[in-house]
Amino acid sequence: MGRKTFSVVALAAVAAATVTLPGLDSAAALAQAADDTLSLSGAADPAPAAELVPEPTVFISEEVVQPLPEQPEAPVLTEAGSLRELVGMVDTSAPMNEDLRCLAGAVYFEARGEPLAGQLAVAQVIINRSEDNRFPGTYCSVVAQKGQFSFMRGSRMPAVRTGTAAWSRAVAIAQIAHQGMWQSEAGDAVFFHANYVRPGWSQRKTKLAQIDTHIFYR
């Protein structure tokens, strides 16, 4: 059936619906007539609605992690430009064990009037002795060894004025020496004496350094 024929049939059907169904609403009649016309003309039924196909599930083999912003790095103590600067960076309020306290006490009593390099050298000698089989194996036993340190009262160390700047410096020097954060001029020295005395053993030792009033040997 051509387009013109379809139009004529449709108009005829509309007219017939209007005449034969006077009681229906005109809009409903028009719709019914259009449906009848489509059925008579042999037009195919409307295509069924397309079925919804679910999207395939995608599995990710590796966890996606959102990178965190970079955190500023903590200052590294050994990046200090000088021993004095490094001493100022050390936390001297941290608790100390007995051995570290003995090391700091020896620095305080033996060299608190010396420059920082001299204090570090005294601490280094005590550490070197504790690692040498000829001497006791701990800082406290090295300091308490009979006849080695004149400030000792037998095997006891005098009371320390812990609230002073001198004690804070001694504590910092002890921690620096213990952790090897700064190289000492004393090197591997295991002996030292004041420059105003001349002990007999010094003639048989190798002199390594003199820092202020102390001379260091191995």
66: pLDDT confidence band, cut at 50, 70 and 90? low
Residue 202, pLDDT > 50, answer: yes
Q: Give the pLDDT of residue 9.
A: 42
Reported as a single tens digit per residue, the pLDDT across 129-146 is 999 999 999 999 999 999
Q: Give the pLDDT of residue 132.
A: 98
C-beta of residue 189 within 8 angstroms of C-beta of residue 209: yes
- Give the global pTM: 0.65
Residue 135 has which token pair?
């001497």
| Percent of the chain residues past pLDDT 90, beyond the cut | 63
Reported as a single tens digit per residue, the pLDDT across 146-165 is 999 999 999 999 999 999 99
- The CA distance from 218 to 207, in Å, is 7
Residues 119-137, mean pLDDT to the nearest whole number: 98
- The CA distance from 86 to 120, in Å, is 12
More confident residue, 89 or 45: 89
Residue 191, pLDDT > 70, answer: yes
